[in-house]
């Protein structure tokens, strides 16, 4: 199928859904009881998505927010409430029927929120060629839409163009644990179901990085569907467009606290846990973004962390036999790659098979926010206990 055919058929399907109320099969997580207090039912009944990018405390008062694929407007209206009357929201969609509903309800939402006028504007356009000014957006949100775009790298580059230096994105989308085969890619019905256009998680994360974004990391993860042994996941990601020049801020050294024993950031800097590493202003900017809170200690002078230092975090697996149960771990940032204390090397977005002991480690509070774990076993596994490594260590 050509890109034009995909775009046309997706638009037609969503236009039909706007008229019929057809339910698109993506997980949402919306708190409809809360949203119905200010958003009309006409909008709520045609709201599709795989996450809640406007409802994760990511939207700040007074900001300018862009919603890619705004549909009937649900995320724009939630963002409108959060930015307040001094903020501004732009919704972008390619389907006239959806835009009509969103525009019709914008004044009602403004009234329900107590705003003198609506602070939401809806524009018709494509995600690959956004009718939005350069460097004009504080925050981009998008909810299960980019997977519908034929050329996602163009979308990522457009996101980079319109976001202000120092801005960020929070987007929810469907990704897969392995490449989607051609027979699904060319299935027009599954494009509308958010399946055929899904990128492998690693390719999605790499595409955002290639566009220029850094600090890319998981905000939320929800398993969705398994089709022909391919796992489709709802992944909400946040990333940053750093200011154009590194500002001196007193930070000269960074010490990896853990839980990882080794890590490599998106600028190529390597860190060993507990060992201070000299960093430049650009790297200091990166490590000052929220996803690195608690992972690194930033300082003007080098600070080493001994094993007994309470600021150092290390979690080792039980020294006992383990079981292979079909689990695979996807590391989801904010580093490019990390190692644990049993020499597993996790590349961002790439599944790695793990045993029962490693699964227990990744379920701890220190590791859990950085991983999505799936199980590829078709039936429960009753494997015997094994020693993963001749030395008795894990895997």
pLDDT band at 20 (very low <50, low <70, confident <90, very high): very low
What contacts 320, CB < 8 A, 6 or more positions away?
A: 357
Q: Say how far apart CA 28 and CA 228 lie, in whole Å.
A: 23
**71: nearest Cα among 53, 90, 48:** 48
pLDDT score, position 17: 47
The pLDDT of residue 11 is above 50:
no
Specify the length of the chain in residues. Answer: 395
Amino acid 18: pLDDT = 44
What is the structure's pLDDT at 389? 60
If one counts the domains in the chain, the total is: 3
Residues 343 and 260 in one domain: no
The mean per-residue pLDDT over the stretch 242-260 comes to 87
Same-domain check for residues 328 and 267: no
What band does 307 get if pLDDT is binned at 50, 70 and 90? very high
Q: pTM of the prediction?
A: 0.90
pLDDT of residue 38: 96
β-bridge pairing 351-353 and 327-331: antiparallel
| Domain co-membership, 332 together with 187 | no
pLDDT for residue 267 = 96
CA–CA distance, 13 with 88 (Å, rounded to integer): 29
- Does one domain contain both 280 and 331? no
98 with 219, same domain? yes
pLDDT recorded at residue 319: 83
Q: Mean pLDDT check: name the lowest of 190-194, 225-229, 357-361.
A: 190-194
Would you place residue 26 in the very low, low, confident or very high pLDDT band (cuts 50, 70, 90)? low
**Between these two residues, 265 and 189, which has the higher pLDDT value?**
265
What pLDDT is recorded for position 394? 59
Lowest average pLDDT, out of 52-56, 63-67, 68-72, goes to 52-56
- Residues 309 and 320 placed together within one structural domain of the fold: no
Q: What is the mean pLDDT of the chain?
A: 89
Last residue of a domain, one of 240, 257, 284: 240
Segment 150-170 mean pLDDT: 97
**Structural domain boundaries enclosing 332:** 316-387
Q: pLDDT confidence of 201, banded at 50, 70, 90? A: very high
Residue 395 pLDDT grade (very low, low, confident, very high; cuts 50, 70, 90): low
Q: Which pLDDT belongs to residue 280? A: 93
240, 274, 295 - which closes a domain: 240
d(CA 392, CA 298): 36
324 with 308, same domain?
Answer: no
Question: What's residue 194's pLDDT?
Answer: 66
Asked whether residue 366 falls in the same domain as residue 251, the answer is: no
**Is 286 among the domain residues?**
yes
392 found inside a domain? no
């Amino acid at each position: 199928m050509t890109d034009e055919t995909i775009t046309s058929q997706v638009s037609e399907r969503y236009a039909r859904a706007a008229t019929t109320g057809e339910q698109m099969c993506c997980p949402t997580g919306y708190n409809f009881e809360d949203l119905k207090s200010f958003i009309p039912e006409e909008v709520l009944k045609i709201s599709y998505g795989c996450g809640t990018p406007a409802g994760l405390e990511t939207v700040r008062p007074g900001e300018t927010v862009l919603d890619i694929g705004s549909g009937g407007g649900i995320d724009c209206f939630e963002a409108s409430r959060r930015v307040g009357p001094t903020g501004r929201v732009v919704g972008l969609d390619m389907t006239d029927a959806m835009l009509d509903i969103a525009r019709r309800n914008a004044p009602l939402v403004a009234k329900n929120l107590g705003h003198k006028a609506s602070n939401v504007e809806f524009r018709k356009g494509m995600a690959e060629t956004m009718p939005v000014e350069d460097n004009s957006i504080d925050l981009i949100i998008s909810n299960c839409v980019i997977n519908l775009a034929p050329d996602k790298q163009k979308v990522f580059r457009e996101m980079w163009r319109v976001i202000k230096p120092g801005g960020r994105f929070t987007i929810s989308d469907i990704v897969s644990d392995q490449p989607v085969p051609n027979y699904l890619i060319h299935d027009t019905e599954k494009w509308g179901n958010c399946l055929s256009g899904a990128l492998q998680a690693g390719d999605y994360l790499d595409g955002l990085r290639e566009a220029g974004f850094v600090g890319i990391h998981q905000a939320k993860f929800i398993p969705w569907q398994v089709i022909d042994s391919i796992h489709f996941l709802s992944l909400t990601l946040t990333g940053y467009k750093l200011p154009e020049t590194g500002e001196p801020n007193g930070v000269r050294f960074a010490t990896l606290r853990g839980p990882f024993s080794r890590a490599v950031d998106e600028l190529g800097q390597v860190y060993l846990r507990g060992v201070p590493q000299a960093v430049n202003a650009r790297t200091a900017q990166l490590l000052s973004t929220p996803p690195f809170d608690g992972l690194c200690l930033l300082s003007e002078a080098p600070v080493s962390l001994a094993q007994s230092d309470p600021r150092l975090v290390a979690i080792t697996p039980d020294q006992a036999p383990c079981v292979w149960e079909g689990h695979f771990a996807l590391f989801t940032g904010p580093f490019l790659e990390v190692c644990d204390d049993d020499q597993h090397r996790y590349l961002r977005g790439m599944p790695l098979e793990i045993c029962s002991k490693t699964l227990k480690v990744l379920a701890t509070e220190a590791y859990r926010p950085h991983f999505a774990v799936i199980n590829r076993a078709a039936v429960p596994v009753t494997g015997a206990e094994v020693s993963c490594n001749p030395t008795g260590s894990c895997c």
